[in-house]
Amino acid sequence: MVMIRQILHLYFLFFFTRSNFVKITMAFKFFSTIGTGKSRLIFRQLFDSVSSTYTYLLGDATTQKCILIDPVLELAHRDFQLTKDLNLKLVYAVNTHMHADHITGSGQLKTMSGCKSIISKSSGADADILVKEGDYIEFGNHKLKVLSTPGHTNGCCTFYFEEHGMAFTGDALLIRGCGRTDFQEGDAATLYNSVHQKIFTLPESTLLYPAHDYSGLTVTTVDEEKRLNPRLTKSLQDFVQIMNNLKLGYPKQIGEWYRMVAFWCKSFNTLSVQFFAALKWKQKLSSFSLWLVILLRPDPGHQASLLIALIHVSYST
C-alpha cells in the first residue's frame, strides 16, 4: 500500500513539480510570536496557488517544536525550509483529511525532517498516528483538539486551538462555502450536521482557517459564517438540495487520466489490472507510451475512494 502511494507520489512529483522553491539556507534566531510566556505561538499561513491550498505552520516559541497542517507535496521543500529559517523542529505533519485535489507533503516531510504523520483513523489512510474525536495533537506547550467533522469525507477533522481562538477546518467549512459532498465519501446532511454541531458551536470570535480559498480570502470567523455562509445558513433540506445540484467537475489536479480511470472503474467494478496503449493521449506525449494501469479497489462499495496507481512503462519509438 505504502509502495503504491510512493509510486503515485512520484508520478505527481513528475507531472506537477514546480521550480520556484524558496532557496534560503541561512538560519536565524528571532521570530515574531503571538501571545506571551509559555503560550507564545509562531504562526504562518502558506498558500499553494496551483490547488489553492492553505498550509499552516504552528510553532511553540519556547520549545521550538512545530507542526504543519495540510502540507502540499510540491511545496514540502518550501515548508521545511521555513521551519529551518524559524529555527523550529518539525514534529508532526498533520492532515485534516485525505485530499483529492492535491497530494499531501507528509511523506516528503517525514523523509526530510524525521517528523511523524497524523490523520484521522476514519479517513482510512495510513499515517504514523491515527487520531479520533477528542484526541489532542500536542507540540511543545500547545495542543489542538481533534473534532470529527465528516461529510466532505468520512475522515474529515477540524483541529481546534482553544488557547489562541483558532480552528483549522480543512474542507468541512470554507470561507463562505464548504467542501463538495458529491465525491469520495461525501454526504451533504452529514456535513451540515458536522458544521452546525462542531464548528458553529465554537466561540463566535474563533478564527476559522480553511484548507482552501479560491477568491483570495485568508481567514473567517464563526460569526461571519453563521451569518454570511450562503449554503450553511440555509435549512438542512435546502443545503442538501444545493449540494446535490452543484454539478462540479473532477478536481483539476486529478485531471484527465483520473476521469478515464474512473470510467474504467464503473465499467469493471472489480479489482482490475488492465493494460492499454495510450493512443488517445498520443498527441500529449512526447513519445509513444504504454501505460500499465492498476486499479485497486479496497472497498468496492465506494467507487470514488479508489486507490489508483499509474505505472508508466514508457518506451520511445
Residues that bind a copy of itself (CB under 8 A): 20-24, 26-33, 44-49, 52, 55, 75, 78, 82, 85-86, 165, 176, 204-207, 214-219, 221, 223-224, 227-228, 230, 233
Q: In the complex, what is the shortest distance from the CB of residue 58 to a copy of itself, in angstroms, rounded to a whole number?
A: 14
Q: Phi and psi (nearest 5°) for 102?
A: -160, 165
Q: Are 58 and 139 in contact (CB under 8 A)?
A: yes
Q: Which residue type is seen at 90?
A: L
> DSSP E strands: which ranges in the chain?
41-48, 53-60, 65-69, 89-94, 116-120, 129-131, 136-139, 142-148, 157-161, 166-170, 207-210, 220-221, 272-277, 290-296, 307-312
Q: Name the nearest CA neighbour of 41 among 186, 133, 169, 140.
A: 140
Q: Select 215 or 316, whichever has its Cβ closest to a copy of itself.
A: 215
Q: In the complex, what is the shortest distance from the CB of residue 85 to a copy of itself, in angstroms, rounded to a whole number?
A: 6
Side by side, which strands form the sheet with 89-94?
41-48, 53-60, 65-69, 89-94, 116-120, 129-131
Q: Select 122 or 221, whichever has its Cβ closest to a copy of itself.
A: 221
HSE, side-chain direction, 13 A CA sphere, residue 155:
21
Q: How far apart are CA 61 and CA 82, in angstroms?
A: 14
Q: In the complex, what is the shortest distance from the CB of residue 170 to a copy of itself, in angstroms, rounded to a whole number?
A: 18
Q: In the complex, what is the shortest distance from the CB of residue 80 to a copy of itself, in angstroms, rounded to a whole number?
A: 13
Q: In the complex, what is the shortest distance from the CB of residue 201 to a copy of itself, in angstroms, rounded to a whole number?
A: 15
Q: In the complex, what is the shortest distance from the CB of residue 60 to a copy of itself, in angstroms, rounded to a whole number?
A: 17
Q: In the complex, what is the shortest distance from the CB of residue 245 to a copy of itself, in angstroms, rounded to a whole number?
A: 18
User: How crowded is residue 152: how many other Cβ atoms within 10 Å of its Cβ?
Assistant: 29
Q: Select 116 or 164, whichever has its Cβ closest to a copy of itself.
A: 164
Burial tier of 161 (Cβ tally within 10 Å: 0-12, 13-18, 19+): buried
Q: Select 12 or 31, whichever has its Cβ closest to a copy of itself.
A: 31
Q: Select 218 or 269, whichever has its Cβ closest to a copy of itself.
A: 218
Q: Select 35 or 300, whichever has its Cβ closest to a copy of itself.
A: 35
Q: Phi and psi (nearest 5°) for 240?
A: -60, -40
Q: In the complex, what is the shortest distance from the CB of residue 55 to a copy of itself, in angstroms, rounded to a whole number?
A: 8
Q: Select 233 or 274, whichever has its Cβ closest to a copy of itself.
A: 233
Helix, strand, coil percent content, the chain, rounded in steps of 5: 30, 25, 40
Q: Select 125 or 202, whichever has its Cβ closest to a copy of itself.
A: 202
Q: Are 224 and 205 in contact (CB under 8 A)?
A: no
